[in-house]
Structure 1
Amino acid sequence: MRGEPPAWAPGPAQAAALLEEAADLLVLHRDFAAAVERCEAGCDSLGPGPGPGPGESFAEVKCSLCVVGIQALAEMNRWREVLSWVLQYYHVPEHLPPKVLELCILLYSEVREPQAMLEAGGSWLRAHANQRLPELGSLLELYVAQVLLPLGRFEGAEELVRGCAALDGERQLALLGTVCESRRRWARREETLGSSAAEEQQDPAAETVLGMLSQKLLTMLTLLRRALRSMSNHFYLLPYKKMLLATFLLYLVVVRLDPASPTSLPFIYKLVQLFRQAWAAVLSPIHRPPIRD
């Protein structure tokens, strides 16, 4: 676009014609790239200027060309280029027309990139040449609401509001109240985010403890299962004859013999000893139940 020289003769008449053509391309034909090209050609036809001022006859046409160009760039989702694009025609932020500055602030606020206008807007508002412009107060309010407050620059906002002579007492107090309320909301949001972050940090700790307990329980259950399996395998491997002998001796002691007969006592005593030996052979010492005389 800008690499080729414009095909139109320079001058305010040609710039006005290019402005009309760019507006038609933007609104009627929706040809945004062509609209930007016409705006660039129109600004180039006006030549470099010191910036907007009372003695500059081309200021209104140049400003309108930039407004159409900004809208066309935004339509093409090239909003990141907007500030640098207008600065190539006005060179420094302090020379931007109020309408162009307002449109840039609104655009970058809409796309949630207010930091892009932080330095440029502050420079414009503090410039000595702009202090007597009638748009100063409204632009300061817009800059505070759309740039400084969303970025949490509360001290800078208060300083800027108190130092602005374009705001009367009522507007100044109202704007300072807005800054104070925004500061309170910011603090509450930070506190809420801090509490949420603390809860998120506690939750992984609790999950870690529960995980350790679950792992210990799983380990204990695994060991118990292995012990039961080992015991069952041990009983399955016991010799059949030893089991039969233990059962027969128990039958003799309990059923066949009369414990009340005196003649049976020595025999019972020997049988008990024999039973103990058989029982010791059947069960291991760890799992042997207690036997009382």
Structure 2
Amino acid sequence: MKSDPSISAAPLRGLGGPLRSSEPVRTALAPPPAVALLEEAADLLVVHLDFPAALETCERAWRGLASGVQAEELAGTSSEVKCSLCVVGLQALAEMDRWREVLSWVLQYYQVPEKLPPKVLELCVLLYSKMQEPGAVLDVVSAWLRDPDNQGLPEYRALADLHLQRVLLPLGRLSEAEELVGGSAAFGEEQRLVALQAIHTVRQQQAQEPVGSEEAQKLNQAGSFSQKFLSLLLLLRRLWDSAVSHFFSLPFKKSLLAALILCLLVVRFDPASPSSLPFIYKLAQIFHRIREAVFPPLCRLPIRD
């Protein structure tokens, strides 16, 4: 069963939800070959979910519209079919996760942004905004809104508000947003006040962000320093515990002998000399005090010479 060519704006299932537009797609008085291809492309997109084939069918229909006398004779009546082909094609690209190619694909047929149909431009804004890349359509929508021929269209007000809410404010282009709100007749008095309040709210958020980020950075630095200091203390404690356990694992007599030999090597005194006896006596007293302090009287083993 063929789908109705007037319902070519199918949901973008691959992006988690439909992109809705306020303008219906019409195909009245369109060339029969283009209508047949449009119906086939919509059927491939919605019913068969064959997105590459739907895109190829749209491109084939565009080549047919752009060739021969048909495009010149039916230039006015085929504009709606061109718009519908673009809608089906951009949704096929989005379903194939090729949404970044949508804008360039559409512009290759309309050449300049000012000539884009309002419905196609609206879907492009919704798509790139949904994918959190509104900057991709910033210049295109701005050029379209500045064109005098587009300012008289009934869709101009909706696109101006969509551009403000989905592109300018998320990008923080507040000066351009104020210029659009203040210099465009698309905004009524009440709508202008709401838009200016939204701009003021975004400006306050931007003013608070640097302070918050600076405080967060200081907290992160302090936390990092504390973590490093604790790691250093733990490392020193492990080294001290290892050295103490290694020292006390040796017999006391061997430790005393090793210390005495070390003193002989470093100080290089003669043990047989009378001048060295007071030093040896003091050294022995130090080791006895260390032994008494470390080992309790109940646990201390007698040292036998």
Q: TM-score, normalised by structure 2?
A: 0.68
Which whole-Å deviations, capped at 9, do the CAs of 1:65-100 have from their partners, x for residues lacking one? Answer: 111111111111111111011001100111101000
Equivalent residue runs for 1:89-238 within 5 Å: 89-189=109-209, 191-225=211-245, 227-228=247-248, 232-234=252-254
Moved more, 61-70 or 148-157: 148-157
- 1:34 maps onto 2:53 in alignment: yes
Alpha-carbon distance in 2 for matches of 1:192, 1:286: 60
1:83 is aligned with what amino acid?
L
Once the two structures are TM-superposed, the CA of residue 283 in structure 1 deviates from its matched residue by 6.5
Matched residue, 1:47: 66
Instruction: Give the Å deviation of 1:103.
Output: 0.3
The counterpart of 1:76, out of the listed 90, 96, 103, is 96
Shift of 1:282: 11
* Farther-moved stretch of structure 1 (207-216 vs 80-89): 207-216
Q: Is the 8 A contact 2:160 2:186 kept in 1?
A: no
- What is the distance in 2 between the residues matched to 1:81 and 1:235? 79
CA distance in structure 2 between the partners assigned to 1:56 and 1:194 by the alignment: 58
Task: Kindly report the root-mean-square deviation, in angstroms, between the aligned alpha carbons of the 2 structures.
Answer: 3.0
The alignment-based identity, stated in percent, is 46
SS in 2 for 1:286: helix
User: 209-218 vs 80-89, which deviates more?
Assistant: 209-218
**Superposed CA offset, 1:28-81 (max 9, x none):** 222221211221122222228xxxxxx833211111111111111111111111
Range that drifts further, 181-190 or 101-110? 181-190
Higher relative CO (CA 8 A, sep ≥ 6), structure 1 or 2? Answer: 2
For residues 236-257 of structure 1, what are the alpha-carbon distances to aligned partners after superposition, in whole Å with 9 as ceiling and x for unaligned?
879xxxxxxxxxxxxxxxxxxx
**Unaligned regions of 5+ residues in structure 1, if any?**
1-10, 49-54, 239-276
> What TM-score do the two structures reach when normalised by structure 1?
0.70
2:255, 2:210 → 1: CA distance?
68
- Say how many residue pairs are matched: 235
Q: Which residue of 1 aligns with 2:42?
A: 23
